[in-house]
C-alpha cells in the first residue's frame, strides 16, 4: 500500500507541531516546513527515531520564490502530497485599527493570506492531476466576527474562510477535499507572538479558563483527513467549553487549575 504524505506549514510549534505528531501517529510520511531550521531538525530527528519518514523544508511562506524553490527541490517520491495543512499564521498587536503598526499588518496579511495562497497554488495542481488530496486550512473563530483590537487579524482569518470556500467550489468536480478548522482560544505561543514576546501579557489571555491545546486541533484535522472518501468535513468551529465566540467567554481564576 502506498504511503500517504502530509505537508504541514509552520510545523515547529503549537498546532503545526501537534499536527505533525498526530499525522505521524496515523502512519503518514511528513514534509515539515518552517523558518526555524534548528527546531525543524530537532522535531524531524525525534520523529525519525520513531520510524517516521520525515522531510524538512526551511523557508518563510511569505517569500514566494523561496517557497517555490523549496517545493521544486522535493525528490519524486515526496511530490505526491495527500494532505496539505496550511497552518502557518500569526496575530500581531491588539491596537485600535487607526493606531496599528504597518509592519504587523504586512506580516499578518503576507503570512495568513498570501502564504496560504502560495502553498495552495504550489501543491493543489498535483492533487487535481491525481484526482485525490485534501487541503486543511487553519482559520479561526476570529474570522466569524471582529473583536476589539482584532481588526486586521480577524480580516485575515475571514479571508481564510472565504478562500477555502472558493477553493472547495473550484474543486467540486474532483475528489480533492477542502476543510477549514476554526479554533477558539488555544494555548500555544500565539499570544506571546501577538504581544511581541511579552510573556506576562500572553499568560493573562489564558488565566481563568481551560483553553484548547494544539493536540485538540490536530485531532480534528486528523479526523477530517480520515473520513471516508465521499465525506468532506467542510468546516469545523472548535471552542473551549467556557468560550461562546471570539469575544464571549467565562473566566474564573480557579477554573483552569480545577480542570487540569
> Catalytic positions, please?
153
In angstroms, the Cα distances linking 26 to 219, 227, 234 are: 11, 13, 21
In angstroms, the Cα distances linking 165 to 108, 161, 177, 181, 230 are: 20, 6, 11, 12, 18
Q: Is 111 helix (H, G, I), strand (E, B) or coil?
A: helix
Question: Cα–chain-centroid distance for residue 42?
Answer: 20
d(CA 114, CA 64): 9
d(CA 40, CA 218): 18
Q: How many residues does the chain have?
A: 260
Give the position of cell 503518514.
28
Contact (CB, 8 A) for 34 and 83: no
Query: How many CB atoms lie under 10 A from the CB of residue 17?
Result: 23
Q: What is the DSSP letter of 212?
A: B
d(CA 180, CA 109): 18
Amino acid at each position: 500500500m502506498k504511503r500517504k504524505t502530509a505537508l504541514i506549514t509552520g510545523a515547529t510549534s503549537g498546532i503545526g507541531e501537534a499536527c505533525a505528531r498526530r499525522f505521524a501517529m496515523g502512519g503518514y510520511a511528513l514534509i515539515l516546513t518552517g523558518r526555524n531550521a534548528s527546531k525543524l531538525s530537532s522535531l524531524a530527528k525525534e520523529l525519525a527515531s520513531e520510524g517516521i519518514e520525515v522531510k524538512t523544508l526551511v523557508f518563510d511562506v511569505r517569500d514566494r520564490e523561496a517557497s517555490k524553490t523549496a517545493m521544486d527541490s522535493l525528490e519524486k517520491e515526496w511530490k505526491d502530497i495527500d494532505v496539505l495543512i496550511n497552518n502557518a499564521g500569526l496575530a500581531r498587536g491588539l491596537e485600535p485599527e487607526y493606531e496599528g503598526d504597518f509592519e504587523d499588518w504586512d506580516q499578518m496579511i503576507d503570512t495568513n493570506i498570501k502564504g496560504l495562497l502560495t502553498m495552495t497554488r504550489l501543491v493543489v495542481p498535483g492533487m487535481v492531476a491525481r484526482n485525490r488530496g485534501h487541503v486543511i486550512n487553519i482559520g479561526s473563530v476570529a474570522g466569524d466576527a471582529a473583536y476589539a483590537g482584532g481588526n486586521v487579524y480577524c480580516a485575515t482569518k475571514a479571508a481564510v474562510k472565504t478562500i477555502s470556500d472558493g477553493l472547495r467550489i473550484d474543486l467540486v468536480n474532483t475528489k480533492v477535499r477542502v476543510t477549514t478548522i476554526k479554533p477558539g482560544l488555544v494555548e500555544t505561543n500565539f499570544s506571546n507572538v501577538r504581544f511581541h514576546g511579552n510573556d506576562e501579557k500572553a499568560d493573562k489571555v489564558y488565566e481563568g479558563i481551560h483553553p484548547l491545546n494544539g493536540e485538540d486541533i490536530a485531532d480534528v484535522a486528523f479526523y477530517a483527513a480520515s473520513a471516508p472518501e465521499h465525506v468532506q468535513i467542510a468546516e469545523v468551529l472548535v471552542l473551549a467549553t467556557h468560550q461562546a465566540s471570539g469575544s464571549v467567554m467565562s473566566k474564573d481564576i480557579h477554573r483552569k487549575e480545577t480542570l487540569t
